[in-house]
């Protein structure tokens, strides 16, 4: 079917929704212009309704033929909790994109993808593109527990080797993704490049693990973002001693050059307000979703 | 109206309009300037001499037919006055609020020196508001469809001007906006206490009624390229605005609590963070706020911050009041609202705590030296004059450069050394055939009015091209 990219008919409607875990949901959204242009590493900005926050989220999949894009969202604060309460047939008020600079897809020989938590979803299209470009793909996936591990089958289908680690040992090996990386290095695996997406602290240690081996390592950074169009400068990150904007220059940057400690501090800027907002939402909706 | 003054009565005292009182208004985001009522408007209009040589109209960047519309206000035919303004400018409710009239029409008014100028800006605003609220606005008629297609990139003042002019001439216009709300800087930048959102929305809706199509969430340069737009449209106008905030290049700029004015104003205005947690986007200002800069954006930032109820707001400017580029009225408003001005002062370092949050600003005093390239006297740091200002948050409002995305993704588009799109000044023509540009993406950082002026000029050139006349 040919989609009119200039039409607003049915835009941002949820064509399909699936819950992957109690707090992680997949949304397939009608947005033909974005679907036609998406590449691995692109992100979109979602807004659930008027008055809602602008939420940046990396694309997991897209179909130009169906005119749809797929995102996977974990309920963390009010906005993500609200989005995951959407049902099939509901619509977002806004989906802008594709934004960011896509990942350069080439042949590195062997590419290692290191994903943590919901970051696995964002790693998937990148790993798939590298597989399709003829790379050997090794996937190292980490989660707190088996219940929070997502897309294992999908990742397995595009990986030559897949290693699972969980904090509690409920799936794969008990331990951290960096333990698995060390084992692979120790076994003499020749790795051309590493792509990592997940919690900042995980990406920081992935970078530290690969640094002694000088393996080119790229991390998808997730600073607080507002407009996502290069206008506000809020998403600035320090890479190679310089200020870069994750929204237009990234979100993928050289992990060995990234100041993760500064990023950790900046992402904590609104923690109190985020909590206040979520508590109010939980109270208004008489529920405790997302409160830990 | 009864007891209507005779026209002309130039010696009636100039009416500068009422304002919300400075203390009360610090607690709200409602409009500060309250606007004329019908009787005040008629009395002010009566002052106009109706000069035959129309110095006010000639001074107007968008050629508003000042003596004629003022006369219609005097005759209490506000609908006709609005239509008269519409002949050359479709946005009187916006211009009446944000144009620095004291530098244009009111500066040219022959009454200026003896009695004070006619309050043309306030009359323009009255005309637009009264006509809007009383259903007296008739959108201008559009010429029959020409079958030609125009794409406008961005929905700020410059693109809205292009859209208005070309739609009137019968062309099909589509406006692309990257954000979720239309209006560009009118929506994300200028605070509601200077320009209420319903005014911007009304003007956008009027263009919609005229047949202009508005598409949001499309970031040209990423979602679609100029090359792609060229395939689907006969001409393209780039009005993507100033994007990238200029950093101060001061140590500590990445501390939490340090904002660019773009981010701070976008949070507060576009995302309505001032209503948090009723809205979802938070802000953080703490108790002590510092704003750096001397332009309108710095005033807007400081005044927005004041309305978020901190203990104090301090504005640092490295020159003196006389060199401030901000509109005089906005500086006065800011001072009235209790913002503390530290002139001849610049930040040299930002210092934070162990959590990476801003705590204080190290400042240095300046003195004015020789004139620089801008003709203003250059501020020179005074050795040994360093001192500290406590701050939980700081807003950097020292300018912006054009958003580079379109320049980076468009082959053959010439830019100047500052990254601005290079154009022929009279027509807005870029190095690419059929592609025009104007506003801040060309000027780097200017005013709403100059952006509108660029749009009008480019629209005329684009119309000639579409009609097969010029090139």
CATH number of the domain to which A64 belongs? 2.40.30.10
Q: Is residue B8 part of a domain?
A: no
| A48 belongs to a structural domain | yes
Q: Is the pLDDT of residue B313 over 50?
A: yes
pLDDT at B158 over 80: yes
CB contact under 8 A, A273 and B284: yes
Residues B206 and B64 in one domain: no
Task: Name the minimum distance, in Å, from the CA of B309 to any CA of chain A.
Answer: 16
Please indicate, yes or no, if residue B96 is contained in any of the structural domains. yes
Instruction: Calculate what percentage of chain B has a pLDDT beyond 70.
Output: 99
Name the strand (E) or helix (H) holding A16. Answer: strand A14-21
Last residue of one domain, picked from the residues B108, B133, B158 = B133
Q: Is the dihedral of CA B413, B416, B419, B420 positive or negative?
A: negative
Q: How far apart are the first and last CA of chain B?
A: 52
The verdict on a CB contact (< 8 Å) between A268 and B243 is no
Same domain, A32 and A128: no
Q: Do A19 and A65 belong together in one domain?
A: yes
Q: Are residues A45 and A122 in the same domain?
A: no
Does B256 sit behind a cis peptide bond, omega within 30 degrees of 0 on the bond before it? no
CB B232 within 8 A of CB B149: yes
Within a domain: A209: yes
C-alpha to C-alpha distance for B459 and B461, rounded to whole angstroms: 5
User: Looking at the structure, do residues B210 and B271 belong to the same domain, yes or no?
Assistant: no
**Under an 8 A CB cutoff, do A265 and B276 touch?**
no
**How many residues are listed for chain B in this entry?**
471
* Residue among A15, A94, A1 nearest B215 (CA): A94
Residues of B in contact with A273 (CB under 8 A): 276-277, 282-284
Structural domain includes residue A274: no
pLDDT mean over B58-65: 95
Fill in the DSSP letter of residue A242: E
Are B115 and B11 contacting, i.e. CB atoms less than 8 angstroms apart? yes
Residues of chain A found within 8 Å of residue B277, distances taken between Cβ atoms: 273, 276-277, 280
Q: Are residues A251 and A114 in the same domain?
A: yes
- Within a domain: A95: yes
Q: What pLDDT does A292 receive?
A: 41
> Per residue in B351-373, pLDDT tens?
999 988 999 999 999 999 988 88
B110 domain-assigned: yes
Contact by Cβ (8 Å): B137, B206: yes
How many alpha carbons fall within 13 Å on the CB side of residue B255? 27
pLDDT, chain A, mean: 91
Using CA atoms, how far apart are residues B193 and B334, in angstroms rounded to an integer? 12
The answer to whether residue B469 scores a pLDDT higher than 70 is: no
Region of poorest pLDDT, from A66-75, A128-137, A257-266, B66-75: A257-266
Q: Which residue of A has its CA nearest to B180?
A: A94
pLDDT given for residue A1 in this prediction: 59
User: Does the distance separating the beta carbons of A79 and B280 come in below 8 Å?
Assistant: yes
Taking CA atoms, what residue in A is nearest to B355?
A: A265
Domain CATH for A228: 3.40.50.80
Question: Which residues of chain B neighbour A54 with C-beta distances below 8 Å?
Answer: 180, 271, 281
Q: Which domain holds residue B216?
A: 149-243+401-466
B161 interfaces chain A, CB cutoff of 8 Å: no
A57, A181: one domain: no
Note whether A37 contacts B284, CB cutoff 8 Å. no
pLDDT band for A267, please (50, 70, 90 cuts). confident
Mean pLDDT in residue range B79-98: 94
- For residue B56, pLDDT over 80 is answered with yes
Say yes or no: B277 contacts chain A, CB-CB below 8 A: yes
pLDDT digits (tens, 9 = 90+) for A22-37: 899 999 999 999 999 9
Res A288: pLDDT: 52
Are B48 and B103 part of one and the same domain?
yes
Kindly report the CATH number assigned to the domain that includes residue B287.
3.50.50.60
Same domain, A85 and A167: no
Tell me, yes or no, whether B424 and B351 share the same domain.
no
Query: Are residue B255 and residue B386 in the same domain, yes or no?
Result: yes
Q: Answer whether residue B140 is part of any domain.
A: no
Q: Is residue A108 over pLDDT 70?
A: yes
Q: Are residues A94 and A126 in the same domain?
A: no
Reported as a single tens digit per residue, the pLDDT across A211-237 is 999 999 999 999 888 988 888 888 889
User: Domain ends where: B379, B398, B417?
Assistant: B398
- Is A225 among the domain residues? yes
Give the rounded percent of residues in chain B with a pLDDT score beyond 90. 79
* Average pLDDT rounded to a whole number, residues B96-113: 93
**Residue B263 and residue A53: Cβ atoms within 8 Å?**
no
Domain that holds residue A90: 14-99
In a domain, B12, yes or no: no
Domain-ending residue, one of B77, B107, B133:
B133
Residues B197 and B311 in one domain: no
Domain final residue, candidates A36, A64, A99: A99
* Shared-domain flag, residues A119 and A91: no
Average pLDDT score over residue span B143-155 = 97
A8, A99, A233 ranked by CB distance to B260: nearest: A233
Whole-angstrom Cα distance, residue B315 to residue B298?
8
Structure tokens at B94: 């916006």
Q: Are residues A91 and A170 in the same domain?
A: no
**Which member of A6, A54, A273 has the closest CB to residue B215?**
A6
A142 lies in the same domain as A229: yes
Both A35 and A91 in one domain: the answer is yes
Whether residues A187 and A250 fall in one domain: yes
**Nearest residue of B to residue A6, measured between CA atoms:** B215
**Same domain? B309 vs B252:** yes
Dihedral sign, Cα of residue B268, residue B270, residue B275, residue B280:
negative
Q: In what order do the strands lie in the sheet with B393-396?
A: B258-260, B393-396, B288-292, B312-316, B340-342
Cα of B355 to nearest chain A Cα, Å? 6
Same domain, B238 and B361: no
pLDDT in tens, B215-270: 999 999 999 999 999 999 999 999 999 877 878 889 999 899 999 999 999 999 99
Q: CB within 8 A of B374, min separation 6: which ones? A: none
- Average pLDDT of chain B? 93
Contact A53 B280 (CB under 8 A): yes
Q: Does B356 lie at the interface with A, CB-CB under 8 angstroms?
A: yes
Calpha distance A254→A150 (Å, rounded): 26
Residue A291's pLDDT band (cuts 50, 70, 90): very low
pLDDT in tens, A44-103: 999 999 989 999 999 999 999 999 999 999 998 888 999 999 999 999 999 999 999 999
Q: Residue B96: give its domain's CATH number.
A: 1.10.1060.10
Bridge pairing between strands A161-166 and A14-21? unpaired
Min CA distance, A37 vs chain B (Å)?
A: 7
Q: How many domains does chain A have?
A: 2
| Residue bearing the bigger pLDDT, B212 or A272 | B212
Kind plus residue range of the DSSP H or E element containing A164: strand A161-166
Q: How far is CA B83 from CA B68, B87, B91, B141, in A?
A: 11, 6, 11, 11
Domain contains A2: no
Q: What is the pLDDT of residue B267?
A: 93
* Res A287: pLDDT: 59
**What's the structural domain count of chain B?**
3
Within this chain, do residues B288 and B239 fall inside the same structural domain, yes or no? no
What pLDDT sits at residue B131? Answer: 95
What percentage of chain A exceeds 90 in pLDDT?
Answer: 72
Q: How far is B356 from chain A (nearest CA, A)?
A: 6
Work out the pLDDT band at B445, boundaries 50, 70, 90.
Answer: confident
Q: Residue B263 and residue A234: Cβ atoms within 8 Å? A: yes
List C-alpha distances in Å: B190 to B129, B268, B305: 18, 10, 13
Task: Mark residue B219 as left, alpha or beta (left: phi above 0; alpha: psi -120 to 50; beta: remaining).
Answer: beta
Same domain, B235 and B258: no
A290 in a structural domain: no
Regarding whether B251 and B363 lie in a shared domain, the answer is yes
pLDDT at A22: 87
């Amino acid at each position: 079917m040919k989609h009119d990219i200039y039409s607003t008919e049915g835009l941002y409607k949820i064509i399909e929704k699936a819950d992957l875990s109690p707090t992680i949901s997949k949304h397939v959204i009608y947005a033909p212009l974005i679907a036609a242009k998406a590449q691995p590493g692109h992100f979109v900005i979602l807004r659930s309704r008027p008055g809602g926050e602008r939420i940046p989220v990396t694309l997991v999949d897209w179909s130009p033929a169906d005119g749809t894009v797929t995102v996977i969202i974990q309920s963390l604060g009010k906005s993500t909790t609200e989005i995951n309460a959407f049902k099939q047939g509901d619509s977002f008020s806004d989906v802008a994109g594709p934004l960011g600079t896509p990942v350069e897809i080439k042949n590195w020989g062997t590419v290692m993808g290191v994903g943590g938590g919901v970051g696995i979803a964002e790693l998937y299209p990148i790993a798939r593109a590298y597989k399709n470009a003829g790379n050997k793909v090794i996937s190292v996936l980490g989660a707190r527990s088996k219940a929070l591990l997502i897309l294992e089958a999908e990742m397995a289908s595009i990986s030559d080797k897949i290693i699972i680690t969980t904090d509690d040992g409920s799936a794969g090996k008990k331990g951290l993704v960096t333990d698995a990386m060390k084992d692979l290095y120790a076994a003499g695996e020749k790795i051309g490049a590493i792509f990592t997406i997940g919690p900042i602290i995980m990406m920081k240690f992935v970078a530290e693990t690969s640094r002694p081996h000088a393996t080119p390592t790229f991390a998808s950074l997730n600073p607080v973002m507002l407009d996502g169009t290069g206008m506000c400068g809020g998403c600035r990150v320090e890479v190679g001693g310089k200020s870069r904007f994750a929204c237009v220059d990234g979100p993928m940057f050289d992990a060995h050059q990234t100041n993760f400690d500064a990023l950790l501090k900046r992402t904590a800027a609104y923690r109190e307000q985020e909590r206040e907002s979520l508590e109010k939402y939980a109270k208004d909706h008489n529920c405790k979703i997302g409160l830990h | 109206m009864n007891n209507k003054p005779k026209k002309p009565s130039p010696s009636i005292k100039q009416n500068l309009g009422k304002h919300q009182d400075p203390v009360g208004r610090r607690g709200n985001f409602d409009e500060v300037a309250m606007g004329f009522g019908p009787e005040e408007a008629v009395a002010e209009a009566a002052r106009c001499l109706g000069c035959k040589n129309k110095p006010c109209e000639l001074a107007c960047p968008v050629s508003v037919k000042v003596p004629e519309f003022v006369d219609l206000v005097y005759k209490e035919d506000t609908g006709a006055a609005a239509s008269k303004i519409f002949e050359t400018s479709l946005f009187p409710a916006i211009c009446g609020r944000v144009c620095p009239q004291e530098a244009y029409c009111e500066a040219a008014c022959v009454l200026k020196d003896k009695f004070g100028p006619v309050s043309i800006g306030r009359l323009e605003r009255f005309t637009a508001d009264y006509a809007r609220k009383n259903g007296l606005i008739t959108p201008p008629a559009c010429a029959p469809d020409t079958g030609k297609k125009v794409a406008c990139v961005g929905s700020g003042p410059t693109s809205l001007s292009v859209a208005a002019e070309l739609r009137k001439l019968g062309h099909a216009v589509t406006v692309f906006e990257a954000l979720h709300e239309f209006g560009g800087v009118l929506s994300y930048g200028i605070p509601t206490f200077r320009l209420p959102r319903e005014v911007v929305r009304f003007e956008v809706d009027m263009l919609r009624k005229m047949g202009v199509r508005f598409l949001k969430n499309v970031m040209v340069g990423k979602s679609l390229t100029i090359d792609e737009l060229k395939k689907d449209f006969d001409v393209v106008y780039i009005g993507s605005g100033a994007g990238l905030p200029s950093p101060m290049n001061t140590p500590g700029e990445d501390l939490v609590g340090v904002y660019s004015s773009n981010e701070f104003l976008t949070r507060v205005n576009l995302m309505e963070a001032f209503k948090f947690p009723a809205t979802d986007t938070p802000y953080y200002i703490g108790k002590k706020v510092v704003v750096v800069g001397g332009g309108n954006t710095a005033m807007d930032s400081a005044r927005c911050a004041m309305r978020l109820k901190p203990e104090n707001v301090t504005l640092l400017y490295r020159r003196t009041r006389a060199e401030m580029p901000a509109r005089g009225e906005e500086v006065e408003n800011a001072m009235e609202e209790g913002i503390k001005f530290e002139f001849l002062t610049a930040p040299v370092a930002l210092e934070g705590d162990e959590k990476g949050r801003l705590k204080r600003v190290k400042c240095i005093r300046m003195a004015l030296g020789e004139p620089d390239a801008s003709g203003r006297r250059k501020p020179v740091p005074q050795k040994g004059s360093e001192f500290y200002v406590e701050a939980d948050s700081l807003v950097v409002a020292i300018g912006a450069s054009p958003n580079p995305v379109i320049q980076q993704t468009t082959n053959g588009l010439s830019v100047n050394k500052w990254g601005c799109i290079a154009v022929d000044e009279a027509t807005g023509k870029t190095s690419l055939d059929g592609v025009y540009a104007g506003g801040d993406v060309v000027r780097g950082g200017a005013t709403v009015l100059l952006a509108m002026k660029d749009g009008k000029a480019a629209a005329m050139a684009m119309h000639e091209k579409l009609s097969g006349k010029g090139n």
